[in-house]
A and B are shown apart, each in its own frame.
Chain A
Amino acid sequence: MPALLSHRLAVPLVIALVVVALSFALPSNFYLRVAALVWISALAVIGLNLLMGYAGQVSLGHAGFFGLGAYAVAVLPAQFALHPLLAALVGAVICGLIAFVVGRPILKLKGHYLAVATLGFGILIAMAISNEAWLTGGPDGMPVSRMTLFGWRARGAETWYWITGGLLVVGAWIAVNLVASPTGRALRALHDSEVAARVAGIDVARYKVRVFVISAVYASVAGSALALVNGFVTPETANFMHSIELVTMVVVGGMGSILGSVAGAAILVVLPQVLTAFHEYEHMLLGLMMMVIMIVLRSGIVPSLAALIQRRRK
């Protein structure tokens, strides 16, 4: 059993099982919608976790890529009559290219300096989105046309539940593949000791850019999915608070844990929904729970719980 659990494909399989099992357990379309939002956030968080948790490079601007992906499926079909899927693809390519170009100078920075540079970069994207109203509808956002595939219109909570759930499983599968590959080992190595990684022949700058591009593409695809599910985009998808939220999901779930990414996304998507019942105490409770979780499970939910269970066994 433990050997089975440590297999590379265990994590995407577990996620697939959860997606399937929940589809039976969730009582109404409202819950299916919330679950779809969890899958979308989890996808972006997995990408960010590859950058932060595995390669050790922080980004406080990832909502910028998320927002670009979201606006790609809003703007490109409206302006150039592009099919939404093609628009999402173009969005992902654009995000990858931007990450490739800005990655090299930005990722030379370390620690808090990297944080502030990515923060500034994200803010520039968010500002362009909310200020270029002629293209993006400005602060009010803009509608996203429905996606049709061979005459079939993708709509309804259940349809999107399965589409986003499928995307998440594929995203998790690609992520575990990467982590277990020579590239993944190079990324984890440069996280622990850049100088030792360089001596081992790893072109550290190049690998940092690689993972930055990959995580940007994850964020972009997740953004596109969100826009299509909601049928609407607003500049909030790209703003600073959303970047912070993504980072928080990574850390709460557990740095360097793919399963943790899903857990972190689930908690920070579901919790605010639950807490709306407490009206004006909503933010207090959210902040309080974030603090308590991080104090009690300081390595993040999944790694901390895994360590606890292991200790229990011994």
Chain B
Amino acid sequence: MPEFLQFSVSGLTVGAVYALVALGFTIIYNASDVVNFAQGEFVMIGGMATVFLTAAGIPLPVAALMAIAAAMAVGLALHRLAIEPARGASPVTLIIITIGASIFLRGLGQVVFDKQFHSLPSFSGDTPIRFGGAAILPQSFWVLAGAGIIVLALWAFFNRTLLGKAVLATAANRLAARLVGINTSFVVGFSFVVSAAIGAIAGILVTPITLTSYDIGTLLALKGFAAAMLGGMGNPLGAIVGGLAVGLLEAFGAGYLSSTYKDAIAFIVILGVLFVMPGGLFGRASVERV
């Protein structure tokens, strides 16, 4: 039982990061149909920038805010300089552009930062909290609480603010949104900025546990994408559930079965789910219209 609890907490912690990456995918996808494979690089920028800014003597909270702002600027630049000029290109062309952006940002990280692994001090110390026989890192609570707050804030934003509703309207029907006077180009750019911020926050919160380096983005994008698809592409709830599920599967797979095949276990489950539910867990069955 303590084992089970231990695996659950570590699974949920990693899963929360996947969930945030998946949520970033979902926000951009809904606004623009673009699958942004540079999503993992936002996580990298958040973690690495905070590491280097704190190393330069800037207090952690300020450094974190600056890192988030940097990621948001990169997100905006990505939209303005790479996505917007290719508007109207096929989805697969846009995907290759974001893969190019991912390689570019990884290279940039390597030049601006370095090729070493880095960590941040835990926000509230490293003394594990004993709970039901399991030892839980305080930082895990930061990650889980942070993810929870982001989800709540996003929910409030989309349901309570005019801009949020404009984003939802754009996601539902781009042409109709334009007809009622929504600047959809702004909305898409905004979705990149929001996704970048979410990724950066995830990166800052998780760095004390998992470390960070210039090339962590690829694997995170992969897992986040898989999580988003497991939940059902375009569904925010699906992204969160999918992310947590992938994290838990990895943790339990590594703990109870085989640590070398932990990724395999997650993907076998994803394949199994998709064979039964081809639209993901929360996807709707679609009727072919002809």
A149 beta carbon closer than 8 Å to chain B: no
In the bound complex, do residue A287 and residue B105 qualify as a contact, i.e. CB atoms below 8 Å apart? yes
In the bound complex, do residue B260 and residue A131 qualify as a contact, i.e. CB atoms below 8 Å apart? yes
Contacts of B260 on A, CB cut-off 8 Å?
A: 127, 131
Residues of B235-290 at the interface with A, using a CB-CB cut-off of 8 Å, are 260-261, 263-264, 267-268, 270-271, 274-275, 278-280, 288, 290
Residues of A92-108 at the interface with B, using a CB-CB cut-off of 8 Å, are 105-106, 108
In the bound complex, do residue B97 and residue A290 qualify as a contact, i.e. CB atoms below 8 Å apart? yes
Checking A109, A128, A131 against B278 with a beta-carbon cut-off of 8 angstroms, the contacting residue is A109
Contacts of A58 on B, CB cut-off 8 Å?
A: 92
In the bound complex, do residue B267 and residue A298 qualify as a contact, i.e. CB atoms below 8 Å apart? no
User: How far apart are the CA atoms of A116 and B264 in the complex, in Å?
Assistant: 13
Say whether, besides A58-B92, A288-B104, A294-B97, A112 and B110 are in contact (CB < 8 Å).
Answer: no
Quick one: CB contact mask for A265-285 with B, threshold 8 Å, 1 for yes? 000000000000000111111
In the bound complex, do residue B226 and residue A195 qualify as a contact, i.e. CB atoms below 8 Å apart? no
User: How far apart are the CA atoms of A285 and B105 in the complex, in Å?
Assistant: 10
How far does the Cβ of B21 sit from chain A's closest Cβ, in whole Å? 14
In the bound complex, do residue A119 and residue B222 qualify as a contact, i.e. CB atoms below 8 Å apart? yes
Contacts of A295 on B, CB cut-off 8 Å?
A: 82, 85-86, 89, 97
User: How far apart are the CA atoms of A108 and B279 in the complex, in Å?
Assistant: 11
Checking A247, A251, A280, A299 against B110 with a beta-carbon cut-off of 8 angstroms, the contacting residue is A280
Query: How many residues on the B side are at the interface (Cβ–Cβ under 8 A)?
Result: 45
B144 beta carbon closer than 8 Å to chain A: no
How far does the Cβ of A263 sit from chain B's closest Cβ, in whole Å? 14
CB closest chain-B residue, reference A293? B100
In the bound complex, do residue A124 and residue B267 qualify as a contact, i.e. CB atoms below 8 Å apart? yes
Contacts of A105 on B, CB cut-off 8 Å?
A: 275
Residues of B91-112 at the interface with A, using a CB-CB cut-off of 8 Å, are 92-93, 95-97, 99-108, 110-111
Say whether, besides A116-B225, A295-B82, A295-B86, A283 and B96 are in contact (CB < 8 Å).
Answer: no
Contacts of B229 on A, CB cut-off 8 Å?
A: 112-113, 115-116
B6 beta carbon closer than 8 Å to chain A: no
In the bound complex, do residue B278 and residue A113 qualify as a contact, i.e. CB atoms below 8 Å apart? yes
User: How far apart are the CA atoms of A248 and B93 in the complex, in Å?
Assistant: 9
B12 beta carbon closer than 8 Å to chain A: no
Query: How many residues on the A side are at the interface (Cβ–Cβ under 8 A)?
Result: 46
Interface of B, secondary structure class, is helix
A110 beta carbon closer than 8 Å to chain B: yes
A85 beta carbon closer than 8 Å to chain B: no
Q: Which of A105, A115, A120, A248 has the most CB of B within 10 A?
A: A120
A65 beta carbon closer than 8 Å to chain B: no
Residues of A281-311 at the interface with B, using a CB-CB cut-off of 8 Å, are 281-291, 294-295, 298-300
In the bound complex, do residue B100 and residue A283 qualify as a contact, i.e. CB atoms below 8 Å apart? no
Q: Which of B86, B99, B225, B290 has the most CB of A within 10 A?
A: B99
B169 beta carbon closer than 8 Å to chain A: no
User: How far apart are the CA atoms of A109 and B268 in the complex, in Å?
Assistant: 15
How far does the Cβ of B264 sit from chain A's closest Cβ, in whole Å? 5
Checking B222, B225, B271 against A121 with a beta-carbon cut-off of 8 angstroms, the contacting residue is B271
In the bound complex, do residue B263 and residue A123 qualify as a contact, i.e. CB atoms below 8 Å apart? yes
Please give the residue numbers on chain B whose beta carbons come within 8 Å of chain A beta carbons, in ascending order. Answer: 35, 82, 85-86, 89-90, 92-93, 95-97, 99-108, 110-111, 218, 222, 225-226, 229-230, 233, 260-261, 263-264, 267-268, 270-271, 274-275, 278-280, 288, 290
Additional A-B contact list (17), CB under 8 Å, known A108-B278, A119-B225, A290-B104: A113-B229, A113-B278, A117-B270, A119-B222, A119-B226, A123-B264, A123-B267, A240-B222, A283-B103, A283-B107, A284-B107, A286-B103, A287-B100, A289-B100, A294-B89, A298-B90, A298-B93
A-B contacts, 11 of them at CB < 8 A, read: A117-B274, A119-B225, A120-B270, A124-B267, A128-B264, A195-B290, A247-B96, A280-B111, A283-B104, A290-B100, A298-B90
